[in-house]
Amino acid sequence: MAKTPASELFSTLKTYFNQLSDGERTPAEVANALNGWAKESAESVKAKIAEEVEATVSKMGFIKREEYDLLLTRVSQLEKDLPRKKSVKKVAAQGEKKRTIKKASK
């Protein structure tokens, strides 16, 4: 059976306290050991949170910002690689002007 985080913390503290009171470790050694243990625990929690967030976001159908930026870059590159012809916007705009002129002259 796995220990709960609270029981793990108390067990670790009890071990360090016993080593301190028995003279096996100095207060500085205990403090350094506790700092190291705290950093390891924090990294473990961060990793678990990151995994959960990634799994949840993926289930929701979202993508990472990096993936989106890569997609935008790829689309831009593909658009640049298209053969250059008279732009569709210019043709459409000229057609609009002709229609407007014809309506006004009637």
For the stretch 15-42, what's the b/e string if a residue is b when 16 or more beta carbons lie within 10 angstroms of its beta carbon? ebeeeeeeeebeeeebeeeeeeeeeeee
pLDDT in tens, 17-29: 888 888 888 888 8
- Regarding pTM above 0.85, the answer is no
Could you tell me where the DSSP H helices lie in 22-83?
Answer: 27-60, 65-81
- Structure confidence by residue, pLDDT tens digits, 67-97: 999 999 999 999 999 887 665 566 566 666 6
Contact (CB, 8 A) for 27 and 20: yes
- Looking at residues 31-53, what average pLDDT do you find? 89
pLDDT the model gives residue 104: 53
How far CA 37 is from CA of 17, 27, 56, 93, in Å, comes to 14, 15, 29, 68
